[in-house]
Structure 1
Amino acid sequence: MKPTLFVLAAGMGSRYGGLKQLDGLGPNGETIMDYSIFDAIRGGFGKLVFVIRKSFEQDFAEKIISKYKDHIPVELVFQELDNLPAGFKCPEGREKPWGTNHAVLMGKDVINEPFAVINADDFYGKDSFAVLGKELSAMTGTENQYCMVGYRVGNTLSESGSVARGVCETNKENFLTGVVERTAIERTDGEIQFTDENGQKVILHENTPVSMNMWGFTPDYFKHSETSFINFLNANQGNLKSEFFIPLTVNELITSGTSTVKVLDTTSKWFGVTYADDRQGVVDKIQALITAGEYPNRLF
């Protein structure tokens, strides 16, 4: 069974001020997402599911889905603030979406096979989809054995400033033991470093794996996430800004011994528009990949 690519795109409308400004960075106006989907198709993925906000369904169908539908089956699901478990109501005044793992939960009725989760606006690279597609194809019929792509931190930095990254802690077998969010990571005097909670400078090895929100799950993950979300809602009832992120559930499952998460190495370089100044660099990097023959000039 071919795996599914689940694209988290519910934040796009707000971040880009509507889809009309979905930034074209390739030579024919291709978006970062176009490259991810192109890579996923050649990496062996058989279906696309987007999670978006209902308010831009029509825009999304016309501008985005129309591009892909002759290449791969596409489904849409919706992340809304009031989509909560029985017995819960959206607190008055809440405007912030419930977070990435709430978005993942929206796929539970349409995904019955191993699936990857990615952000819509991150450039993940060809090798990462090949590595993840191969691993997911071997996961059909299994439960509680998940995976994630661990990018080498040196391949994820911005030239325009420091970045925050989920630094992965792994055991000898390359299974995840935890993800620790680290801020202000940057290359200084040739070394990648950040300042820890005690104010100490910490050097990160070039190949230290970091999470860029590229996960591989089997459908039983939805059941775990529902339980985790109820616990989260009970604990955060008064907090209008709290978000239910994927690493929260993953850490719970690892710590309790319920699930394992294999960290997959990739040679791909991650890039994205973290700062406005990054945009031209992303355009240049995409053009360099086209020149090198990694991508055709026109994708779809």
Structure 2
Amino acid sequence: MAAGRGSRYGKLKQFDELGPNGEFLMEFSMFDAINNGFDHIVVITQKDNVQFLQDHLKTRLPDNIKLDVIVQELTDLPEGTSFSVEREKPWGTAHAVWSAREVIKGPFAVINADDYYGQAAYRNAADFIRSNGENEVYALLGYTLKDTLSIHGSVSRGVCKRDGKRLISVEERTKIEQQSDKITDLDSGLEFDGNELVSMNFWVCRPSIFEQIEGDLRAFMQNEETQKTGEVYLPFVVQAMLQQDKVSVEVIPSDSKWFGVTYADDKDRAVAQLQEMTSGGAYSAPLWAKVPS
């Protein structure tokens, strides 16, 4: 998903050159996914970015990898629905996924373009897909809260409740911040010890999710107030499916270190970590010099 507007970062962070040779952060995700058997890349973005991304990625991705660059359009809504408010911001992460409904026909992973998830996370996701053929079984790659914070400001995290490997719920906390020796959600006042498992929006889903998203979009569009500033979030959609017993969700440890670029000041850390991994041999320099097969 690369359709965000980078309001806290200050520009389109999805296309910031963070790698040692000017690579975008999402290129490392693509590389890791391809290296673990994924063969179809779908990028959801804004209309103005489509041609740029197609040209940029086609020269880098292996010839056997299918590429679709999809526009997340405000007007792309379920038949019979519409909106009457002025709005520029996209309808949310669930709508972004729904935008790709025509090109996705099998199980798929969902990630953010501005997050680095780690090589092992893609291996674990691929192993899950290979070993689980049931349409009713989804997965969430989990990360430890204390390892996903920014020193430059608050972050939004989905705090998971689980029963063993089985996900019970994901509760969105939109203003979590490290304060001295405490981790606090500034909105609710709740404190965390940092060992909680959180969602970083790395999901393994099935095409059955598109029907659920469509229904949720229809309900969302009936309220003019939510149309103004609201969004349809992917974790909320998955949670609704859980509550309706339509799916079960397995929580898979990512076995990886996450980092991202929520704020502009996060950039230096991301650049340093990508350089360190490349220097250590985890990635080629430039990234696509040795294309995974």
Q: TM-score, normalised by structure 1?
A: 0.87
Residue in structure 1 matched with residue 216 of structure 2 by the alignment: 228
> Does 1:179 pair with 2:165?
no
Q: Secondary structure at the match of 1:225?
A: helix
Tell me if structure 2 keeps the 8 A contact 1:150–1:211: yes
How far 1:270 moved relative to its partner?
A: 1.0
Q: In 2, Cα distance between the equivalents of 1:274 and 1:155?
A: 14
- Structure 1 residue 103 corresponds to structure 2 residue 103: no
Corresponding position: 1:268 with 2:232:
no
The 1:258–1:32 alpha-carbon spacing in structure 2 relative to 1, beyond 3 Å, is same
Residues 44-53 or 208-217, more deviating: 44-53
The Cα offsets for residues 35-91 of structure 1, whole Å up to 9 and x where unpaired, read as 000100112111111112233322222223432253521112221111111111232
**Structure 2 partner of 1:246:** 234
**Equivalence map 1:198-237=2 (5 Å):** 199=189, 202-206=191-195, 208-236=196-224
Superposition map of 1:155-166 within 5 A: 155-166=147-158
8 Å CA contact 1:51–1:76 kept in 2: the answer is yes
- Kept in 1, the 8 Å contact 2:221–2:227? The answer is no
The 1:263–1:156 alpha-carbon spacing in structure 2 relative to 1, beyond 3 Å, is same
Which structure 2 residues correspond to residues 32-43 of structure 1 after superposition, within 5 A? 32-43=25-36
Inter-partner Cα distance in structure 1 for 2:58 and 2:92: 23
2:273 equivalent to 1:285 = yes
Number of the residue aligned with 2:282: 294
Specify whether residues 12 and 66 from structure 1 end up closer, same or farther in structure 2 by C-alpha distance, changes over 3 A only.
farther
TM-score (norm 2): 0.89
Q: Distance in 2 between matches of 1:10 and 1:39?
A: 21
Report Cα offsets for 1:180-203 as digits up to 9, x if no partner.
1222232633xx521476635x23
Unaligned runs of 5+ residues in structure 1 are 1-7
1:90 maps to which of 83, 99, 115 = 83
State the identity as a percent: 36
1:158 positional shift:
1.9
Query: Residue 184 of structure 1 aligns to which amino acid in structure 2?
Result: I
Is it true that 1:78 corresponds to 2:51 in the alignment? no
How many Å separate the matches in 1 of 2:185 and 2:86?
A: 35
Q: Aligned residue for 1:130?
A: 123
Alignment RMSD: 2.3
Which SS does the other structure have where 1:181 is aligned?
Answer: strand
Maintained 8 Å contact 1:149/1:264: yes
Q: Single out whichever of 111-120 and 224-233 deviates more from structure 2.
A: 224-233
The answer to whether the 8 Å contact 1:162/1:184 transfers is yes
Tell me the CA shift for residue 126 of structure 1: 0.6
Q: Counterparts of 1:255 and 1:110 in 2: how far apart (Å)?
A: 28
Equivalent AA in structure 1 for residue 269 of structure 2 = G
- Secondary structure of the 1:67 match is coil
Do the aligned partners of residues 296 and 198 (structure 1) sit closer, same or farther apart at CA in structure 2, a change above 3 Å counting?
closer
Q: Against the structure 1 CA distance between its residues 46 and 161, is the aligned structure 2 distance closer, same or farther, given a 3 Å change threshold?
A: same
- Cα distance in 1 between the residues matched to 2:244 and 2:268: 44
Instruction: Write the distance in 1 (CA, Å) between the matches of 2:52 and 2:12.
Output: 9
Q: 1:228 to 1:239 in 2, by over 3 A?
A: closer
Shift of 1:227: 1.6
For residues 7-28 of structure 1, the C-alpha deviation after alignment (integer angstroms, 9 at most, x for no partner) is: x112269877569x92111111
- Check whether the contact 1:165–1:212 (CA below 8 A) recurs between aligned residues: yes
User: Helix, strand or coil: the match of 2:183?
Assistant: strand
Aligned to 2:43: 50
Q: Which stretch has the larger CA shift, 24-33 or 225-234?
A: 225-234
